[in-house]
A and B are shown apart, each in its own frame.
Chain A
Amino acid sequence: MVRLAHLWDMSRCVACMACVIACNSANFPEYMRSSNPNPQWSWLASNIKVWWISVGGRPRVLLTQCMQCDNAPCVKACPTKASHYDPKTGLVTIDYRLCIGCKACVVACPYGARWMDPESHMPNKCLGPECSSRIENGLKPVCVTVCPANARDFGDLDDPESSISRRVRESTTIRLREELGTKPRNVVVLRGG
């Protein structure tokens, strides 16, 4: 079994936004100059969201994207099975041949990780097309490779030898909103090893 996931390290990120911006130009080049590319999030055409938060009075930043839930509400909510687990990668994936643009998945996602494409009226999510193609070619997603702070990783959680597994072992980590039972795979590192 392959369980691919993203790791994002809060202790290393400096909010330089390279990942947020590169996600846009790599995956959604058609929306690079749109005046309102992602009305749902009032955001650029990027699969990564930025939250300015306060933890115990201390300012922090939190970057989120599709959490790759093992028990994904979006997959359950999809009436046409367009949202599904890719048998090869285990990633939550959309089969656009089946998608009817009903937004059930968008509403169902407790992380708000999906946004409606303003032209196709279909949902977009991480991984975007270029990143999907990259992992097929054995490369890591763009947000991981662009990071100057080594705050990101991507790989197979079920492979103990993968760099992501090593980082999980060596760090203090959390999964976001686990209480919902979504079993998110994506890892947030609070303190690096």
Chain B
Amino acid sequence: MALRISRRDFVKIAGTALALSSIPVSISVVSGFRQPSVSRLEAIGSQREAVRTFCGMCGALCGIQVVKVDGRIAYVEPLDGHPQRGLCGRSASTVWLWDSPLRLRKPLKRVGERGEARFQEVDWDTALNEIAAKLREVVAKYGYKSIAITHHDVWSYYMPLFSYLFGTPNVISHVGMCHASGTVARGHILGAGGPPSVDPDYENASYILFVSRTPGTASMGVLNRLRGNRKVRIVVVDPRMPEIGLGDAEWIPIIPGTDAAFLLSLAHVIIEERLYDETFLKYYSNAPFLIKPDGKPLTEADLVEEGDARKYMVWDAKTKKPVDHKTPGIDPDLLYEGDVTLKDGTVARVRTAFQLFRERCSKYKPEEASRITGVPAETIRRIARELALYKGVVDDTWFISKNGNDYDDVRAALILNVLLGNIDKPGGLCFQESARFPAVITVVTRDGKRYARTFYDVEMPEELFGDVGATRVDRTKYRATPATFDAILDAILTGDPYPVKALFVIGTTPIHRDMDVDKIKEALGKLDLLVVIDILPQDIVDYADYVLPDTTYLERDEFTTVKWTLHAAVHLQKKITEPPEGCDARSALWIMFEIARRAFPERARALGWRDEYADYHKFEEFEESLSEILVRKVADTWKIPLETLRKELEEKGYYILKSKEYMVRPYRVALGTPSGKCEIYSLTALGLGLDPLPDYRPPPAYPLPKADDEFYLVNGKGPLISAHALLMEPMRFFKHLWSVWMNPRDAERLGIKDGDIVELESLAKPGKRVKARVWVTEMVREKVLFTYSYVGRRSKLLPENHFARGGVNIHELNKAYVIPIVGGGASNTSVRVRRVT
């Protein structure tokens, strides 16, 4: 009863009463060079100190400080002043992660069948040597490119290094099941890249429309920025109410998979009511480009011999003739439609891209769009007018691999910003400042020979490149994709375009990430080698030949860019603690190098690995030196005195290299599109054989629900959702995580009560059924069921009654569908519902 006494004594001896929370803990603050310097440990009241770092509970990496009370990691707080200030329930659950009873503690070797999760503990040498031997066998038979590596955000910086280390081009991330369609669309319309290469200016926006996304699902720094803006109006369009709808945001429930119709209808209203920014469209977009009947842009090459095919023509209202869009002093006509004489004497009817887009949007008059989307026509008109009135911004989306028609959703969202002329302006959709952070590896040519040069200045000669230059498996199928792991599954199953025989899964869980669990399992069964590197037993672990325990973000150094800010900024993570006693975790960087050293020693050596790093303490010195080198390189790039940067990083944990400068792109710097301008009519899409304009197409990924007991089943993220955070004990108590959401009117109609168990049968894969508990809530639209991502665990390494078994893994009920060329997957599906109890 020591506890009771201490608690009783608490009030009496306030100030020293923290003794009560001094339950024996074995966190050892490491000594020597690895200990965070004193300046990072700020004493905050008696017995407390705060260590500034960034969070690793999801991929967003928000700025936080870890507060220790009497040496115990007690809680985590947002890091004030950090451009991406934390935090959320995931981050708060960090305290549970470090010594989680679920933590993978030793290397494991499979002794049963794949999927049985029967393992024996082995020492590191045994595991690494056996993996290396198997890899050599695989490479001897099928070549380096038969090795694939898949990952999520963690360790992503080092992935190109792993590619050279193993000689394979097939390092394929989660992106196909996340933001692939958005990333392709951002490239096509704005010449931008993945999120957040462009992002709304949350601090200054007066009106933000979020479609299929909500701030607070990943980066809480974004929410924090938004909450510092007292004038902003927020509208969210989603089949389920995103968490921000609980507050002051307006939620517009929409039928799943119809976002493009909604957005194009907004565009229709904005165009027909002339609410668009005419000047912006004329001079900074390709809206006035003249398009020929074959859909191609009219260029100088069409008009004169030896004309330049990259000179896109517009109709100059002043001179009444077609001119190069870059000609100074012209007045491009947005609405031109007429005949032009081509160099061969023929006459072509040309129309502006704007007219073509206008015509496309006219298919979605509010009444028609209402029929498709379920959003009242008046709401559509109101939102369109509000967007224009407030000079609003439409968010560029994040997790969007949902319905198989998502590429068009993002294109339409981006084009709305172009119509409003709200690009790179305060409160608009802005380009992120680049931190000019060193790439982990770059290929340099010297004396006609190529070398892969690492940021730590070691070079691998081209004769050791292996198959790095081969076409990645996914790009052979989906030309424009940033990454499509589904193509790896196909290659494993069919050997097409070439066999994939060994797979490394690093800090990610394909069984809860990728479509069609049956397909995934079948593919895993055909591999010669499956190695999983993780910190917790994700479902994929059950299928691994070897499971290797990774370190958590509290146990290693990292220096990287701040992701979710418009500024160019960097931040530093310092090792705060050793892994808990009995946990022999090693950093994935060490693991991959050590496997390579044993399998392909010449490759490891060429990339700077020394035999002595096999000693983990020596490696940690190397790892720390990598952060040091990166800090030095960033200081050099930005011409900041090294000591200044070091001191700021030590004291504050972050450093802003350059504050956001507005009105740069496309005003002073050309965009990465073929025309250098915002392209409402995408020339890149045209070149790829895609429709250059967005359109609404019904979701192709699943049969649409029709009968009374048929529903859309949609999924999404939230502020508690990450593959790791969901396994932390506090999550057990939040029933909304572990249930399928159903609207009360649907529940009443089907005689289903809150807490009932239902059986969901996939309409996409008839016969495939799972059971789930129902949460009856107004937070989901009628005729739609919602489940969070990463729930519905099946790993046999979890206790039988573990709470994470609750909920539905949507990938058990969907069927793989990948958008042609673009490579984005589709996670949503449709189901038939039957009450079980």
Enumerate chain A interface residues (CB-CB to B < 8 A). Answer: 10-22, 24-27, 29-30, 32-33, 42-44, 50, 52, 54, 57-61, 86, 93-97, 99, 117, 119-122, 129-130, 132-134, 136-139, 142, 145-146, 148-151, 191-193
Distance between A112 CB and nearest chain B CB, rounded to angstroms: 16
Closest-CB distance, B31 to chain A (whole angstroms)? 24
- A17: chain B residues at CB < 8 Å are 88-89, 92, 719-720, 730, 734
Task: Determine whether B76 belongs to the interface, using a CB cutoff of 8 Å to chain A.
Answer: yes
Q: Is B69's beta carbon under 8 Å from chain A? A: yes
- Interface residue B78 (Cβ < 8 Å from any Cβ of A): yes
Q: How far is the CB of B93 from chain A (nearest CB, A)?
A: 6
Asked whether B69 lies within 8 Å of A130 as measured between CB atoms, the reply is yes
Q: A41 to chain B: closest CB distance in Å?
A: 9
Query: Are A129 and B17 within 8 A (Cβ)?
Result: yes
Chain B residues contacting A94 (CB-CB under 8 Å) are 11
20 additional contacts (CB under 8 A) given A16-B720, A148-B216, A148-B224: A13-B246, A14-B243, A18-B92, A21-B730, A30-B3, A59-B777, A60-B246, A61-B246, A119-B4, A120-B1, A120-B4, A129-B17, A130-B18, A136-B45, A137-B48, A148-B227, A149-B216, A149-B224, A150-B227, A192-B248
Instruction: Offer 16 A-B interface pairs, CB within 8 angstroms, sorted by A.
Output: A14-B223, A15-B243, A17-B88, A18-B88, A21-B730, A22-B75, A22-B92, A26-B75, A29-B21, A32-B96, A95-B11, A130-B18, A133-B18, A136-B45, A146-B87, A148-B85
A32 and B77 within 8 A (CB): no
B348 on interface, CB distance cutoff 8 Å: no
In angstroms, how far is the closest chain B Cβ from the Cβ of A129?
5
Contact of A133 among B4, B15, B89 (CB under 8 A): B15
B248: chain A residues within 8 A (beta carbon): 11-12, 191-192
Which of B75, B223, B227, B248 has the most chain A CB atoms closer than 10 A to its own CB? Answer: B75
Query: With the chains together, A60 CA to B245 CA distance in Å?
Result: 8
Cβ contact within 8 Å between A133 and B46: yes
Complex contacts, B11 vs chain A, CB 8 Å: 86, 93-97, 132
* Residues in B neighbouring A14, C-beta threshold 8 A: 216, 223, 243-244, 246-247, 719
- B4:A122 contact, CB within 8 angstroms: yes
Shortest distance between the CB of B513 and any CB in chain A (Å): 22
The answer to whether the Cβ of B183 comes within 8 Å of any Cβ in the partner chain is no
A21 to B74, CA, bound (A): 11
Q: Is B200 part of the binding interface, using a Cβ–Cβ cutoff of 8 Å?
A: no
Shortest beta-carbon distance, B754 to chain A, in Å? 10
A134 to B88 alpha-carbon distance, docked (Å): 21
Contacts of A119 in B (CB 8 A): 1, 3-4
Residue of A nearest to B737 (CB): A17
Q: Which of B9, B77, B732 has the most CB of A within 10 A?
A: B77
Contact B10 A137 (CB under 8 A): no
CA distance A44 to B733 in the complex (A): 7
Instruction: Give every chain B residue within 8 A of A21 (Cβ-Cβ).
Output: 89, 92-93, 730
Q: Are B247 and A10 interface neighbours, CB within 8 A?
A: yes
CA distance A193 to B91 in the complex (A): 28
B87 pairs with A18, CB closer than 8 A: yes
B425-460 residues at the A interface, CB under 8 angstroms: none
Partner of B228, one of A25, A99, A138, A150: A150
Interface 1/0 per residue, B8-41 and A, CB below 8 Å: 1111101101101101000000000000000000
What are the 10 tightest A-B residue pairs by CB atom distance, in nearest-first order? A137-B45, A96-B8, A16-B719, A17-B89, A120-B4, A21-B92, A11-B248, A25-B95, A148-B220, A14-B243
Contacts of B730 on A, CB cut-off 8 Å?
Answer: 17, 20-21, 24, 44
B91-108 with Cβ < 8 A to chain A: 91-93, 95-96, 101
Closest residue of A by beta carbon distance from B21: A29
Q: How large is the interface on B (under 10, 10 to 19, 20 to 34, 35 or more residues)?
A: 35 or more
Shortest Cβ distance from residue B45 to the other chain A in the assembled complex, whole angstroms: 3
Q: Do the beta carbons of A130 and B74 come within 8 Å of each other?
A: yes
B221: nearest chain-A partner, CB-CB: A148
Say yes or no: A52 contacts B777, CB within 8 Å. Answer: yes
Choose among B14, B91, B247 the residue that contacts A13 (Cβ–Cβ < 8 A). B247
A15 and B228 within 8 A (CB): no
For A191, the closest partner residue in chain B by CB is B248
| Interface presence of B668 (CB below 8 A) | no
Evaluate contact between A33 and B729: CB separation under 8 angstroms. Answer: yes
Residues of B contacting A138 with CB < 8 Å?
A: 45
Cα distance A53–B808 in the bound complex, in angstroms: 24
User: Which of B3, B12, B44 is within 8 Å of A139, CB to CB?
Assistant: B44
Bitwise, B38-75 to A at CB < 8 A (1) or not (0) is 00000011111000000000000000000001001011
Contact A59 B95 (CB under 8 A): no
- Whether the pair A99, B8 counts as a contact (CB closer than 8 A) is yes
Residues of A within 8 A of B779 (CB): 59
Interface presence of B749 (CB below 8 A):
no
| B733: A residues at CB distance < 8 A | 42-44
Q: Do A33 and B220 have beta carbons less than 8 Å apart? A: no
Interface positions of B from 197 to 239, Cβ below 8 Å from A = 216, 220, 223-224, 227-228, 230
| Pair B77/A146 contact, Cβ less than 8 Å | yes
A166 CB, nearest partner CB in chain B, Å: 13
Task: Give complex CA distance A96, B6 in Å.
Answer: 9
B632 within 8 A of A: no
Q: Is B671 an interface residue (CB 8 A)?
A: no
| Chain B residues with CB under 8 A of A133 | 14-15, 17-18, 45-47
Whether A58 contacts B778 by the Cβ 8 Å rule is yes
For A96, the chain B residues whose CB sits under 8 A away are 4, 7-11
What are the interface flags for B507-534 relative to A under an 8 Å C-beta threshold, 1 for contact and 0 otherwise?
A: 0000000000000000000000000000
Chain A residues with CB under 8 Å of B246's CB are: 10, 13-15, 59-61
Is A29 within 8 A of B87, CB to CB? Answer: no
A73 to nearest B CB, angstroms?
20
Q: Once bound together, how far apart are the Cα atoms of A24 and B89, in whole Å? A: 12
